[in-house]
Amino acid sequence: SRPLGKRSLPEMVVDGIEVYSTKIHCRVTSRFAHNTVTTRATNRAETAKEVSFDVELPKTAFITNFTLTIDGVTYPGNIKEKEVAQKQYDRAVSQGKTAGLVKASGRKLEKFTVSVNVAAGSKVTFELTYEELLKRNKGKYEMYLKVRPKQLVKHFEITADIFEPQGISSLDAQASFITNDLLASALTKSFSGKKGHVSFKPSVDQQRSCPTCTDSLLDGDFTITYDVNRESPANVQIVNGYFVHFFAPHGLPVVPKNVVFVIDVSGSMYYQKLKQTKEALLKILEDMKENDYLNFVLFASKVRVWKDHLIQATPENIQEARAFVSNIAAEDTTNINGGLLRGIEMLKKAREEHQVPERSTSIVILLTDGIANEGVSRPEDIQANARNAIGGKFPLYSLGFGDNVDYGFLEKLALENNGFARRIYEASDATLQLQDFYEEIANPLLTGVEVEYPQNAILDLTQNTYKHYYDGSEIVVAGKLADKDMNHFKADVKGHGAFNDLSFTEELDAEEMEKARQEQDYIFGDYIERLWAYLTIEQLLDKRKKAQGEEKENLTAQALELSLKYHFVTPLTSMVVTKPEDNEDQTAIADKPGDGGWAPEGERAGSAVLVGYQPPQTPYYYVDGD
Figure out which of the listed residues 95, 176, 188, 232 binds another protein, where binding follows CB under 8 A: 232
Which part of the chain contacts another protein (CB under 8 A), choosing from 89-97, 317-325, 332-340, 501-509? 501-509
CB of 512 to another protein, least distance (A): 12
Residue closer to another protein by CB (options 501, 582) is 501
3-state secondary structure of 302: coil
Residues 480-499 that bind another protein (CB under 8 A): 497-499
170 binds another protein (CB under 8 A): no
* C-alpha to C-alpha distance for 431 and 436, rounded to whole angstroms: 9
CB of 493 to another protein, least distance (A): 9
Which part of the chain contacts another protein (CB under 8 A), choosing from 186-194, 225-233, 295-303, 310-318? 225-233
Residue closer to another protein by CB (options 375, 497) is 497
Figure out which of the listed residues 139, 233, 357, 616 binds another protein, where binding follows CB under 8 A: 233
Angle at 99 between CA 97 and CA 103, to 5 degrees: 145
Residues 559-618 that bind another protein (CB under 8 A): none
Figure out which of the listed residues 380, 501, 584, 626 binds another protein, where binding follows CB under 8 A: 501
CB < 8 Å & 24+ apart, contacts of 441-444: 441/363, 441/397, 441/468, 441/470, 442/257, 442/287, 442/470, 443/254, 443/470, 443/471, 443/472, 444/254, 444/255, 444/257, 444/361, 444/468, 444/469, 444/470, 444/471
DSSP 98-166: ---EEEEETTTEEEEEEEEEE-TT-EEEEEEEEEEEPPEETTEEEEEEEE--SS--SEEEEEEEEE-TT
388 binds another protein (CB under 8 A): no
Residue closer to another protein by CB (options 50, 501) is 501
Residue closer to another protein by CB (options 59, 230) is 230
Figure out which of the listed residues 18, 56, 506, 538 binds another protein, where binding follows CB under 8 A: 506
* C-alpha to C-alpha distance for 512 and 515, rounded to whole angstroms: 5
CB of 251 to another protein, least distance (A): 3
* C-alpha to C-alpha distance for 118 and 43, rounded to whole angstroms: 7
CB of 315 to another protein, least distance (A): 17
Report DSSP state, residue 615. P
- Residue of 318, 256, 315, 317 whose CA lies nearest to 291: 256
Count the Cβ atoms, other than its own, within 10 Å of residue 141: 21
Figure out which of the listed residues 380, 507, 551, 626 binds another protein, where binding follows CB under 8 A: 507
Residue closer to another protein by CB (options 234, 263) is 234
Residue 180 CA: distances (Å) to CA of 91, 135, 176, 237: 50, 29, 11, 40
503 binds another protein (CB under 8 A): yes
Residue closer to another protein by CB (options 100, 497) is 497
Residue closer to another protein by CB (options 411, 506) is 506
Residue closer to another protein by CB (options 332, 501) is 501
Residues 245-274 that bind another protein (CB under 8 A): 250-253
448 binds another protein (CB under 8 A): no
Residue 400 CA: distances (Å) to CA of 37, 80, 182, 275, 538: 32, 33, 38, 15, 21
The answer to whether residues 222 and 145 touch, using CB atoms and an 8 Å cutoff, is yes
Residue closer to another protein by CB (options 58, 497) is 497
3 binds another protein (CB under 8 A): no
The answer to whether residues 105 and 39 touch, using CB atoms and an 8 Å cutoff, is no
CB of 452 to another protein, least distance (A): 13
CB of 284 to another protein, least distance (A): 22
446 binds another protein (CB under 8 A): no
- Residue of 225, 247, 233 whose CA lies nearest to 140: 225
* C-alpha to C-alpha distance for 216 and 194, rounded to whole angstroms: 35
Residue closer to another protein by CB (options 158, 442) is 442
The answer to whether residues 60 and 69 touch, using CB atoms and an 8 Å cutoff, is no
CB of 506 to another protein, least distance (A): 7
CB of 357 to another protein, least distance (A): 12
- Element (DSSP H or E) covering residue 516: helix 510-519
511 binds another protein (CB under 8 A): no
The answer to whether residues 291 and 312 touch, using CB atoms and an 8 Å cutoff, is yes
Residue closer to another protein by CB (options 404, 503) is 503
CB of 453 to another protein, least distance (A): 15
User: Where would I find the H helices in 304-370?
Assistant: 315-326, 336-352
Residue closer to another protein by CB (options 87, 488) is 488
Q: How many residues bind another protein (CB under 8 A)?
A: 18
* C-alpha to C-alpha distance for 61 and 274, rounded to whole angstroms: 33
Residues 6+ apart with CB under 8 A from 285: 313, 318, 321, 322, 325
| List of residues contacting another protein (CB under 8 A) | 231-233, 250-253, 497-507
